[in-house]
Each structure stands twice: as C-alpha cells, then as structure tokens.
Amino acid sequence: MKNRPLIGITPFYDYDKGQTYIKRGYCEGIVEAGGVPVVLPVVCEEELLSDLFSHISGLLLAGGPDVDAKYFSEPNMPCNGTISPFRDAMEIYLARKAISEGMPVLGICRGIQVMNIAMGGNIYQDIYTQVRDKALIKHSQEAPTWYPAHEVTLEEGSKIRQAYGVEKLEVNSFHHQALKDAAEGFEITAGAPDGTIEAVEYNGHPFAVGVQWHPELMWKEDRLHLKLFEAFVESCALYGNAS
C-alpha cells in the first residue's frame, strides 16, 4: 500500500502505576493489515484531543474496563465493574468526533459500547444480572483467548458481512456487558444466538463499525479475523488520501 494510514489506538491506563499500555494484537493487526498504528496518550483535554485527531486517519477504540454509567444517565449498579474515568472522557469525545466527521472508527468490545454511548445509546451494566427475558449463552469465556466461544450471524448488506465475507462467524467472547438500545443512526449488524448484540455500524458513515468480540486475539490463529482489520485500514487509507 502506498500511503499507509496512521491509526490512533486508545490504550489501557493503570491508575496505580501511572502507566499506559496496550495488548499487542491491536498494533500488530493494524500493521498486518497495512496501516501504521500509534498508541494515543490518555489525556482528557479536548483541545489536545482535537489536535491529536487531526493527525490520524482512523480511530481504533480498544477493549477495556466498564464505562461509567453516568454517561448513559444511570447510577452505577453493583454489577458494573472497574471504571477508567480518563479513558471514558477521552474515548467518548473521540468516538463522537470520528462518527460525526466521517473518520473511520473500529470499536472492539468496550469500543462498541463507547461508540453507542457516545451517540446516545445505552448498555446492560451486566447481562447476567439484567437480561431476564432470554436464556443467555456464555459470553465470558474461560477458554484460551483465540478460541471461539459462540457463533454470530452477520446481516446481509452490512459492512461487517462484507468484510468477513461469511454469514456465520465463530467469535471469542469476553464481555459481561452488551448494548441494550442502539443509539439512533446505528444498525445492528450481528447478533449471538441468544439475541445479544454483537456488532453495529453507523448509517451513512464510510466505516463506523463496532464489534463485541476480540478479533485482535483471534487473527493469528484464524486469518479470517484479519479481514476486519483489512477493511478498516482500507477505509482509513481512503479517508487519509481524501483529507
């Protein structure tokens, strides 16, 4: 690829150690797919974030802890887990900006939830506590991270279906939360057999896709999962060339 797009990845932040870190599958997946990853600093100042934003051609919202429920107007229930206030503020700002300005954004696990919350949607703080009308399957797998835990069905005509090129996909699963009401503008494009929302995309956007699974932990074992990174990077390259 001629112009490899620069793609900002949001990292984990350890409040005790004051350390920023990211699991390697994200960066390596972007590299393997033809992009240049850059791990963003965890900062909250909007002016600085806006400047950072102007240097990247794509945004990857990585997995991580639970979002503070205040962002979807609920009190935090006992079933909500660890909260990362800096990441919440930073990612919600960046997700909203990327979606509204047409910059490609890929949200993984926490990332799909951030995208939805940023645009006015909400999530279950804990599916096992709050989903009462369905028999849930296991979404918090204890098998190795690359091992598929359940199937998802990808909707015809969606970007996720186009990226993977299959209707049924085996995915891993490391979430106790999931989207409840998709925000206006989002289409639900993949679901688990128990009805859990597993992917969404924003209508009319070149590439604003969120997935509840972790392709970055699977692609080395199953190259099919690199296809999502490839579709994302391709969209980032187009955005970078146009802007």
Q: Which of 10, 113, 173, 189 binds Mn ion (CB under 5 A)?
A: 173
70 versus 138: smaller Cβ distance to Mn ion: 138
158 binds Mn ion (CB under 5 A): no
Q: Tell me how far CA of residue 239 lies from CA of 4, 65, 104, 222, in angstroms.
A: 11, 29, 7, 28
214 binds Mn ion (CB under 5 A): no
CA distances in angstroms from 184 to 11, 26, 117, 161, listed in the order given: 27, 28, 11, 21
Q: How many residues in the shown chain lie near Mn ion by CB under 5 A?
A: 2
Q: Among 198, 207, 206, which residue's Cα sits nearest to residue 229?
A: 207
Q: Closer to Mn ion by CB, 98 or 109: give it.
A: 109
Residue at shortest CB range from Mn ion: 173
Stretch that binds Mn ion, among 26-34, 52-60, 75-83, 169-177 (CB under 5 A): 169-177
Nearer to Mn ion, 56 or 197 (CB): 197
Q: Write the CA distances from 98 to 52, 67, 77, 95, 213, integer angstroms.
A: 12, 19, 29, 5, 21
Instruction: Quickly list H helices, the chain.
Output: 24-32, 46-55, 85-101, 110-118, 127-130, 159-164, 226-242
CB of 194 to Mn ion, least distance (A): 9
Q: Does residue number 177 form part of the binding site for Mn ion (CB under 5 A)?
A: no
Active-site positions? 109, 214, 216
Question: Which is nearer to Mn ion, 110 or 139 (by Cβ)?
Answer: 139
From the list 17-25, 89-97, 168-176, 235-243, the region that binds Mn ion by CB under 5 A is 168-176
Using an 8 Å Cβ cutoff, are 45 and 76 in contact?
no
* 158 vs 173, beta carbon nearer Mn ion: 173
Using CB under 5 A as the binding rule, the residues of this chain from 88 to 147 that contact Mn ion are: 139
What's the min distance (Å) between Cβ of 3 and Mn ion? 35
How many CA atoms lie within 13 Å of 83's alpha carbon, on the beta-carbon side? 15
- Cβ neighbors of 183 (< 8 A, separation 6 or more) are 116, 117, 118, 119, 120, 121
Provide the minimum distance between the beta carbon of 196 and Mn ion in the complex, in angstroms, as a whole number. Answer: 6
Where do contacts with Mn ion occur on this chain (CB under 5 A)?
A: 139, 173
